[in-house]
Amino acid sequence: MDFLYRWRRPILAVLVMIVLATLLSYTAKLRGHVLTLSAVAGIVESPVGGVITHVGGGVRGDVQSLTQLFRLQQENQKLKARLTLYESLKLQLEEVQADNTRLRGLLYLKSQLGSWHLLAASVVARNPNNWFSTLTIGRGSTSGVKVNMPVIVPQGVVGRVVSVSPTTAQVLLLLDPSSGAGALDVRSRSAGVVVGRDPITGTLRFQLFSHHPNVLPGDAVVTSGLSQYFPKGLLLGQVIRVAPSAGGLTETATVKPAVNFNQLETVMVVLSHPAGESTPPLSGLVP
């Protein structure tokens, strides 16, 4: 009994194999085939081994896929970090190039107006409620800035100083309807006054004095030197259309300003200038 109890599992396995072999042999004889015990064992073992092989291959495939996915995620994160760095460097480069262009323009203007005393000033504040009327610069009376001094950039006239503190000054922009400057059509030499017309469209009104001024679209308009604020020859803008005035006796031209008032960062205050004709650059381009 001890022997049977000790070897009960092997004996049971042998009995099961014999029963299976008998059943399969009987079935095979009916089909004209005889299966040996080794074939039966192979049949029994084959599905199990196939399942194990299939499962093992699937596990290995999943592990490889997960490893590849993890590697791709790491590479994606590295590429995103490099792209962020590239975009940051690109923005910094564009900012440096813009600053360089602006400073070169100011230096070029100063070189063209060598006999003028110009003071560079940064725009430090603008009120959104009157964006196209005034701005504040970071120079004041301690730097020699006074009321009614012209303010310019390489592209043309910005406006004039209307109030001063020791460290800042407020500039009335040319676009403001209360601003004005004596003006001259460069081609025809027709004179008039340029005033702010419409802050929304950002245009100026050139009220001409002559009955037949012969002003055409495309003409450049500069300061005439006849007003008390601005010296002669500073660029105001370009004529875009001409129409009869309300009374019909004179003509009024619409002028596009030479200055982009949305992008003012650094300006030049004219502290002093010689009397007579001035010759600033009309294009505002730095060679």
Instruction: Express each pLDDT in 194-231 by its tens digit.
Output: 998 766 778 999 999 887 788 999 999 999 988 788 98
Question: Is the residue at 99 inside a domain?
Answer: no
| Residue 192 domain-assigned (yes or no) | yes
Supply the pLDDT for residue 163: 96
In percent, the amount of the chain with pLDDT more than 70 equals 64
Residue 25 lies in a domain: no
246: in domain: yes
Mean pLDDT over 97-120 rounds to: 70
254 touches 205 (CB < 8 A): yes
Residue 226 belongs to a domain: yes
170 within some domain: yes
230 in Cβ contact with 221 (< 8 Å): no
Q: Write out the DSSP string of the chain.
A: -HHHHHTHHHHHHHHHHHHHHHHHHHHHHHTT----HHHHHHHHHHHHHHHHHHHHHHHHHHHHHHHHHHHHHHHHHHHHHHHHHHHHHHHHHHHHHHHHHHHHHHHHHHHHTTTSEEEEEEEEE--GGGTTTEEEES--GGGT--TT-EEEETTEEEEEEEEE-SS-EEEEETTSTT-EEEEEETTT--EEEEEEEETTTTEEEEEE-SSS----TT-EEEE-S-SSSS-TT-EEEEEEEEEE-TTSSSEEEEEEESS-GGG--EEEEEEE--SS-----SS----
Domain containing 176 — which CATH number?
2.40.10.340
d(CA 201, CA 252): 17
pLDDT at 33: 47
Question: 154 in a domain, yes or no?
Answer: yes
Residue 243: inside a domain, yes or no?
Answer: yes
pLDDT top residue among 182 and 28: 182
User: What would the mean pLDDT of 96-118 be, rounded to a whole number?
Assistant: 68
- State the Cα–Cα distance between residues 69 and 56, nearest whole angstrom: 20
The answer to whether 157 and 173 are in contact (CB under 8 A) is no
Domain residue limits at 244? 117-272
- Give the total residue count for the chain: 287
Segment 32-74, tens digit of pLDDT: 444 444 454 454 444 444 544 444 555 456 567 778 887 888 8
The total domain count for the chain is 1
Q: What is 60-123 written as a DSSP string?
A: HHHHHHHHHHHHHHHHHHHHHHHHHHHHHHHHHHHHHHHHHHHHHHHHHHHHHTTTSEEEEEEE
Q: Does residue 139 register a pLDDT over 70?
A: yes
Query: What pLDDT band is residue 284 in, cutting at 50, 70 and 90?
Result: very low
